[in-house]
Structure 1
Amino acid sequence: MDFINIVLASDDNYAQHTAVTMASVLHNTKSPRKIFFFLIDDEIKPENKLKITKTVENMHGNIEFVKIKNNDLNNCYVSGELSRASYFRLDISNILSEKIKKIIYLDCDLLVYADIAELWALDMQEKPLAAACDLGIMASGRLRDQKNNYIGLAYDAPYFNAGVLVMDLQLWRLGNYAVDVIALASDNKFPNHDQDALNKFFMDKWQEIPLKWNVIPPVFNLFVKILLKNELRKKAIEAKLNPAIFHYAGGYKPWEYKVYTGFNEGYYKYLAMTEFRDSIMPQFDKRRKNRSINRQIFRLRLADFWAKLFS
């Protein structure tokens, strides 16, 4: 069987959320038996590994836990809410067997609403990396200045979000890219951490995928800075109305609040399909500053208005 290989990386704090992401993948694919998860395990407790395994197997998927071996990743810059697991994606070509030639990488704070086989089948145009543009950064003059200063990105060049990646591991190994990207991440204190390192290294060597495959807060909230740019606005509204992946990047995580339709009901739906279904909810992360949900709900309602207005 030809598997669809999906890689995630998690510590124990994100074990439950990783299971929810996996459940969303398996529930929405026509061929769950073709899904093979590789979970890079950063000290996940045995009882939580068992819950993740049972979740995947009960939904007819496949899973293998793998360990990070590269000590150089310990030198990478970590700040704010970021954990070191974020950098693990940089060494996937070395972590996995050479038999694995291609993978999809997913962050653990997202939900997949479409068949992941569609993303797997997209043409990478012989590029080592494929990703969706980060409109939040591309629409911001301040962040454009930042990316120009830190990674040398031209003001009119695209910049991608690293939460969803398709990686040609054959090309990564052929070019020994992991060594150079990890060195970049280790030697610099980039504001967007490994994402900046990836954008700097692959600046002209990545393939854009449809925005619907990584709908981040600036898109589902339709920030004004995006609405003011015609080309970006069109892409954002199309992706918001038909999301294939809803990515809770940023400050508002779905598990920290009770169910709010239009925001996090999907998380609770897929949580019920996992072995974590009896967990006490909501779950506030002590590492994060508590935020009122009212502002987020207002943003979503306003975004719905803008989407109807411009559609």
Structure 2
Amino acid sequence: MAILTDEINLLVTLNAGYLAPLKVMLYSVHANNPGERVHLWLLHASLTPAEVAAVAQLTASFGWQFSDEPVDADFTAGVPLIKRYPKEMYFRLLSGEILPHEVKRVIYLDPDLLVINPLRPLWELDLAGHMLAAAAHRGVTKLVDSVNQLRLGTTTSYFNSGVLVIDLDQARAKIRLSDITDAIETHESDLILPDQDILNFLYGTDILEIPEEIWNYDTRKYLIYQTRNLTQHDIHWVMANTVILHYCGTPKPWDASSDGKFTGLFLNYQQQLQRLLASLEPVVE
């Protein structure tokens, strides 16, 4: 198989709580993007050297490039944080300031998802001048958009922040930590999902919408997708056409209480990952 030469930059930001599902997600990327050159950028504020080394070992087994980008505590010292939400959630928006300037574009992926088809079409997406690309999670109607427009005073769709294409040069010019700080302080009582709300409130007009059924499929909403598309999007369509399955909400597929339509698929990738990890040398503490 020919090796594709345009390296895909993947961005992840997390704390240790999501390290295990992150590895499953990365394995799914590797399994379904054979021949791709991938560079994983890991942004974090609290992972231990051993935890970072485990991710580095996994990506090395894939033949990927890996960059560990620890974020100094002073960088977000002035950001007011919402209880229950880690500061790492803001790193995706601030990645232009954190990553080297030679990195021009990244695909940001949440750790609680699977990539089941090739990512290259998303990597090569024409942003048409926009700073970001994202999907909006709607129900059968656009009621969710309307509610969030009223809540946040916005006019655009309400975009999910779990999958983003980011033009980093534009982000460096437009995204300011002070703007994020001001927005949190001003609207803290109105924020439900802080990073996502801030994304929409500050930058919604600079986001290119991409189809959620392809790029950010909410695994809770299988029947809704079928209803909205006159039953055309059955499980066969999903497996052939959807690229990213997003396990939004709870329970997560790695939880014992999870028994959804897509739980088994996640568990299968988890099993495959465990077999791979068993074949690798233990990471030295």
TM-based fold match above 0.5: yes
Asked if 1:14 is matched to 2:9, the reply is: no
Q: Distance in 2 between matches of 1:184 and 1:276?
A: 45
- SS of match in other structure, 1:166: strand
1:170-185 to structure 2, matched below 5 A, reads: 170-185=169-184
Q: Distance in 2 between matches of 1:20 and 1:263?
A: 14
The alpha-carbon distance between structure 1 residues 4 and 278, as it changes in their structure 2 partners (threshold 3 A), is closer
Bigger Cα displacement from structure 2, 89-98 vs 131-140: 131-140
How far off its partner does 1:258 sit? 7.8
Name structure 1 gaps, 5 residues minimum: 228-232, 280-311
Q: Distance in 2 between matches of 1:183 and 1:63?
A: 34
How far off its partner does 1:129 sit? 0.6
The alpha-carbon distance between structure 1 residues 20 and 207, as it changes in their structure 2 partners (threshold 3 A), is same
How far off its partner does 1:140 sit? 3.5
What is the TM-score of this pair, normalised by structure 2?
A: 0.81
For 1:191, the equivalent position in structure 2 comes to 192
The alpha-carbon distance between structure 1 residues 25 and 153, as it changes in their structure 2 partners (threshold 3 A), is same
For 1:234, the equivalent position in structure 2 comes to 229
**Among residues 78, 81, 92, which one is paired with 2:83 in the alignment?**
78
For 2:168, the equivalent position in structure 1 comes to 169
CA-based RMSD: 2.9
Bigger Cα displacement from structure 2, 51-60 vs 213-222: 213-222
What is the TM-score of this pair, normalised by structure 1?
A: 0.75
Q: What residue identity is the alignment partner of 1:26?
A: H
For 1:122, the equivalent position in structure 2 comes to 125
Q: Distance in 2 between matches of 1:112 and 1:137?
A: 24
For 2:282, the equivalent position in structure 1 comes to none
- SS of match in other structure, 2:52: helix
The alpha-carbon distance between structure 1 residues 236 and 123, as it changes in their structure 2 partners (threshold 3 A), is farther
Question: How many pairs were matched up?
Answer: 265
Is contact 1:56–1:63 with CA below 8 Å preserved after alignment? yes
For 1:31, the equivalent position in structure 2 comes to 35
Q: Distance in 2 between matches of 1:175 and 1:15?
A: 30
How far off its partner does 1:114 sit? 1.2
Q: Distance in 2 between matches of 1:12 and 1:249?
A: 19
Name structure 2 gaps, 5 residues minimum: 279-285
Q: Distance in 2 between matches of 1:259 and 1:278?
A: 24
How far off its partner does 1:205 sit? 1.6
**Following superposition, which runs of at least 4 residues in structure 1 exceed 3 angstroms of deviation?**
136-141, 176-179, 235-241, 258-262, 272-279
The alpha-carbon distance between structure 1 residues 35 and 207, as it changes in their structure 2 partners (threshold 3 A), is same
Is contact 1:12–1:42 with CA below 8 Å preserved after alignment? no
Is contact 2:134–2:164 with CA below 8 Å preserved after alignment? yes
For 1:88, the equivalent position in structure 2 comes to 91
The alpha-carbon distance between structure 1 residues 218 and 269, as it changes in their structure 2 partners (threshold 3 A), is closer
Q: What residue identity is the alignment partner of 1:45?
A: T
Is contact 1:271–1:277 with CA below 8 Å preserved after alignment? no
Q: Distance in 2 between matches of 1:50 and 1:86?
A: 22
**Among residues 144, 147, 151, which one is paired with 2:146 in the alignment?**
144
Q: Distance in 1 between matches of 2:97 and 2:61?
A: 30
Tell me the alpha carbon deviations over residues 208-235 of structure 1, each in whole angstroms, 9 at most, x when there is no partner. Answer: 1122100114533528xx94xxxxx129
